[in-house]
Amino acid sequence: MSPPPAPRPTYRSALRTRPFRRLLAGHGLGTIAQLMLTLAVGIEVLERTGSGWWVSVTVALGFVPYVLASGYAGLLADRHSRSTVLTLSFSTRAGCAAVLVAGLALHGPIALLVTVAAVAAVLATPSYPALAAATVQCVPDEQLPPANALVTGVENVTWMAGPGVLGLLLLIGAGPTVGTATAAGLFVLAAALSAAARLPAPARPDAAPGVLAELRAGLSAVARVAAVRRPMTVAVIDNFLYGYLVVAMVLLAAEVFAGDGGGDGADNRAIGLLNAALSVGGVLALLPINLLAARFRPARLLLVTMTGFGAVTVLLGLSGAIGAPVGLAMGLVAVAGAGSLIAEVTAVTLLQRAAPDELTARVFGVYDQLNVGALALGSLLAGPLAAAIGAGPAMVAVASTCLALAAVATGRLREPARRGRHAAAGPGRASLSPPVGSLGPTG
């Protein structure tokens, strides 16, 4: 008797696994709390010093640790239960938030407040690698696309919700101290949800090779295994182009739509419309992901979506030369946002299927480092390139280059074999991946 067919991948089917639901909710609450904490300290710093430099330092220290420490953070999630790592990340950040509440209430030294906020950011770095690796444990292989779409959607929504929640508190008269206290409460709730997931620790070799050797094993998997390296390369290109687009479309709006209806107000209106279109495109892209994942192989879907992302960004760069209306530019930006999100979800699914079980979190630690760095680099290059050759031509040049690089990276991409990994196998489940020393085909 043949087994019943697997259910069609949907958001509802991905959420049937209770540990995944809890970890996803905890990660969302923790992300909101982390942003509230960072911004609340930045507001306090601005109020007390009036220094934009201090504010920049505060916010930068909230993001730099992701570039520097995510690799080691991934190692922690490969050594211990992913739910335990998430629980410790949330609970220790709750402690930092409590210290900050006291420091804000007592008007502690600015340097101390900024330092504690930076420590909280370091403690946040294991969160995404642990969740990405835990998703593979919690969710059956065929449900990975909608599960990853949920993770990406929750991250996008909570990145917008964090400043919004803090803003609402400020509107009703609460200050940074109340905002930080609220963040502490959210961290506690996130820790409770993660602790309730109770995932088994991943299988590890009997003889642990040491921290440096384990870190090198993660880097080696990224560098040597083609099935890991190529989708990660595409994800880095995707995030670089997205980071570039976020800044470049503002510069393009100021250049192309300047004076279109009257001065600075027209510029601000066009900038607002393009930013809204980018967000709407990303949110709407969550709707067809399940259908696309069911109909197309991930490698082909990644090629198509990255091609679309690059092509519409090229067209957006040409919009100034052809005198395109802002409505057309909004449509192109929305398609670009959708293509970027679908490409990222697809690349993550390919990585989860290709990464060896005992290296999954380390692979995603490297993924986090490279993608945050790519976002920052893309954002930083937009201004100088626009100043040098104009916003439109610069966007065409950057998008064309990214389109060509993504086509090369996806053209040789091969589908990794699907593996039936699931947390239901219990603590004693065997590793289904090759040993660390034999990472499979390279190239």
16-61 pLDDT tens trace: 889 999 999 999 999 999 988 988 888 888 788 876 667 667 766 7
- 5 in a structural domain: no
For residue 322, give its domain range: 218-414
82-96, 121-135, 253-267: least confidently modelled range: 253-267
Asked whether residue 127 falls in the same domain as residue 240, the answer is no
Whether residue 231 is found in the same domain as residue 159? no
pLDDT given at position 398:
93
More confident residue, 299 or 106: 106
Residue 442, pLDDT score? 32
In a domain, 165, yes or no: yes
At residue 438, the pLDDT reads 31
Residue-level pLDDT at 190: 96
Average the pLDDT over 163-172 and give the result.
80
What six digits make up the tokens of 239? 């995030």
Q: How many domains does the chain have?
A: 2
Residues 193 and 100 in one domain: yes
CATH number at residue 119: 1.20.1250.20
On whether residue 329 sits in a domain, the answer given is yes
pLDDT at 22: 94
186 and 257 in a common domain: no
Please say whether the beta carbons of 41 and 117 come within 8 A. Answer: yes
> Do 303 and 408 belong to one domain?
yes
15 falls within a domain: yes
Lowest mean pLDDT among 61-75, 273-287, 366-380: 61-75
* pLDDT score of 56: 64
d(CA 295, CA 338): 18
With cut-offs at 50, 70 and 90, classify the pLDDT of residue 402: very high
Please indicate, yes or no, whether residues 136 and 226 belong to a single structural domain of this protein. no
Q: In terms of domains, do 266 and 190 share one?
A: no
- Where does the pLDDT of residue 264 fall: very low under 50, low under 70, confident under 90, or very high at 90 and above? very low
- Alpha-carbon gap, residue 95 to 180, rounded angstroms: 11
Tell me what pLDDT residue 321 has.
Answer: 67
Instruction: State which of 153, 170, 201 marks the end of a domain.
Output: 201
Instruction: State the Cα–Cα distance between residues 404 and 171, nearest whole angstrom.
Output: 47
Please indicate, yes or no, whether residues 256 and 156 belong to a single structural domain of this protein.
Answer: no
Residue with more model confidence, 346 or 102: 102
- Final residue belonging to a domain, choices 175, 201, 227: 201
Buried b (16+ CB within 10 A) or exposed e, 136-163: bbbbbbbbbbbbbbbbbbbbbbbeebbe
Q: Are residues 320 and 242 in the same domain?
A: yes
Specify whether 49 is located in the same domain as 130. yes
Contact criterion met (CB below 8 Å) for 114 and 61: yes
**Same-domain pairing of 36 and 80:** yes
What's the pLDDT at 215? 66
- Residue 425 covered by a domain: no
Region 94-108: what's the mean pLDDT? 94
185 and 270 both lie in a single domain: no
pLDDT of residue 429: 33
Q: Is residue 429 a part of any domain in this protein?
A: no
> What mean pLDDT is reported for the chain?
79
Residue 179 within a domain: yes
Single-letter amino acid code for the residue at 424: A
Mean pLDDT score, 267-276: 70
Could you tell me which residue, 133 or 97, shows the higher pLDDT?
97
pLDDT at position 399 is 92
Residue 78 lies in a domain: yes
* 45-59, 287-301, 331-345: the lowest-pLDDT one: 45-59
**Confidence at 416, pLDDT banded by 50, 70, 90:** low
Supply the pLDDT for residue 146: 84
Residue 24: per-residue pLDDT? 93
pLDDT digits over 169-196, tens only? 887 888 889 999 999 999 999 999 999 9
